[in-house]
Structure 1
Amino acid sequence: MILRRIVLGLAVGLASPLLLGACGSSDGTGSGGAAPVAPATATASVTSPASASAPAASAAGDGGGSVTGSSALTTGVTAEAIDGVGTVVADDRGRTLYRYDKDEPDPSKWTCSGACTKTWLPVVVGDSVRTSGVGRSLLGTVHRDGRKQLTLAGWPLYRYSGDTAARQANGQGRDAQWYAVAPSGRKAAATG
C-alpha cells in the first residue's frame, strides 16, 4: 500500500514538468516585451544555421582562447524584468545577455574577437538550452573556436564582465553598440 503511493507520487512528479512544458505560449515566440507570467519551462535544441560562418581571427588573434573567460556552459535562458531597462534575456545564473550592433543576425556572424571577448564574454552552450519566456524558435548557435555561441533571432549573445551579479545591466548602451537583448531578439527598450 505504501509502496504503491510512493510509486504513484513519483509518476505524478515526473509527469508534471512534461505537462507544464506543453502549456507554453500559444504563439510560440514568448515575445512582446511584457514580463512573463509564470511561464512554462521547456528545453530547446539549439542548432547552427547552415549558412552561419565566423569571420577569420583578427590580427590581435582569437587563438581559440577567447571563449575561456565565459566559464561554464550556459544551460538555460529566461526573460527577466530589470528596472530601467525592461524585460531582457538572462542566463541560467540571472546574468543579463547582450547583443552587439556590429554583429550580423542574418546569417549569424560574430565580430567581437580578441581583446573584445575579455569584456564581452560569448555565451557558450551545449546541444540544448532550457527556456522560460524566450521563444524556442528564436534560439540558435554560431560556431566559435570549436564551440557553440548562443544566438537569439540570429544575434550572437554575450555577457558583460562589468555585471558582477544577477539582474544587473551595466553594459546597456555601452559605446552606443552594446544592448541588453529583449526576448524578441531586439534591443532592450531603455538605455542606461
Structure 2
Amino acid sequence: MIPRRIVPNLVAGLASAFLLGACGSSTAAAPAAPAAPASSAPAPPATSAASTPATGSGPVSGSPDTVTSVTARTLNGVGIVVTDDRGLALYRYDKDQPSPSKWTCSGACTKTWIPVIVQDSVQTSGVEKSLLGTVHRNGRTQLTLAGWPLYRYVGDTAAGQVNGQGKDGEWYAVTPAGKKSAG
C-alpha cells in the first residue's frame, strides 16, 4: 500500500519542481551553473551566464525559436555566414562578450533580436562544431559561436535575407569562425 502513495507523491513533486524551475525573471541573467563540456577542453569559469558546449547528433523539434542545425552559406552582400535550419541568417552583437560567453540583449531588445535557442543537439554543415557552445538565459539555452551568443533579426522574414547586417553599427551576420561579416 505504501508504494501506491510514493508514485503519486513523486509525480506531484517532480511537476512542482518543473513548474518552479520554469518561473524566472525575463530581465536578469540566470544564476551560475557548472559547465558541462563534451570534449576534453577545460570548462570556462562560471559567470552569471555560464557557457557550455552544444553537443549531440540528433535533430530536435521544438518551438519556432529553437534551432536544430546551423549551416555556412554564401549570402548576397555579406559572403559566407551562418544560417539556421530555416536558412535565416544568424547575428552577433558587439556589446555581448565572447569569453566567457555573456549576453547583454534583453527586454525590448529581444523583440527585435531573437535569441537562438537550442533544446538538445545541433547539426552542423560548414561550421566547426567545436566552436559551438551555449549560454544559459533565463532558464533557456542560447546557442553561441566562438563564444558569441547568436540571434535572429525580426526583419529577416525569408531564407537568405540579411536585413540586420550592420544595424546600429553593432549587429553583424556571423561567419563560420564567429567573426563579424565584412559585407
Tell me the residue number matched to 1:15. Answer: none
Q: Once the two structures are aligned, what percentage of the paired residues are identical?
A: 69
What's 1:51 paired with?
A: 46
| Cα deviation code 1:14-36 (max 9, x no counterpart) | xxxxxxxxxxxxxxxxxxxxxxx
- Please state which structure has a larger fraction of its residues in strand: 1
Alignment counterpart, residue 108 of structure 2, candidates 105, 115, 137:
115
CA RMSD across the alignment: 1.9
Secondary structure, counterpart of 1:74 in structure 2? coil
Alpha-carbon distance in 1 for matches of 2:165, 2:47:
26
Aligned to 1:175: 168
Which runs of 4 or more aligned residues in structure 1 lie more than 2 Å from their structure 2 counterparts after TM superposition?
Answer: 48-55
The answer to whether structure 1 residue 80 and structure 2 residue 76 are counterparts is: no
Could you report, residue by residue, the CA deviation over 1:155-177 in whole angstroms, capped at 9, with x for unpaired residues?
Answer: 00000000010000000000000
Write the letter of the residue equivalent to 1:54.
Answer: A
Q: Is contact 2:116-2:150 (8 Å) kept?
A: yes
- Give unmatched runs, 5+ long, in structure 2: 1-37, 51-62
Shift of 1:72: 4.0
Matched, 1:146 2:139: yes
How far has the Cα of 1:83 moved from its partner? Answer: 1.0
Q: In the comparison of the two structures, how many residue pairs are matched?
A: 131
Consecutive unaligned residues in structure 1, runs of 5 or more: 1-44, 56-69
Distance in 2 separating the partners of 1:136 and 1:119: 27
In structure 2, the CA distance between the partners of 1:49 and 1:93, relative to structure 1 (3 Å rule), is farther
- Using the size of structure 1 for normalisation, the TM-score is 0.65
1:95–1:49 distance in 2 versus 1, CA, 3 Å: farther
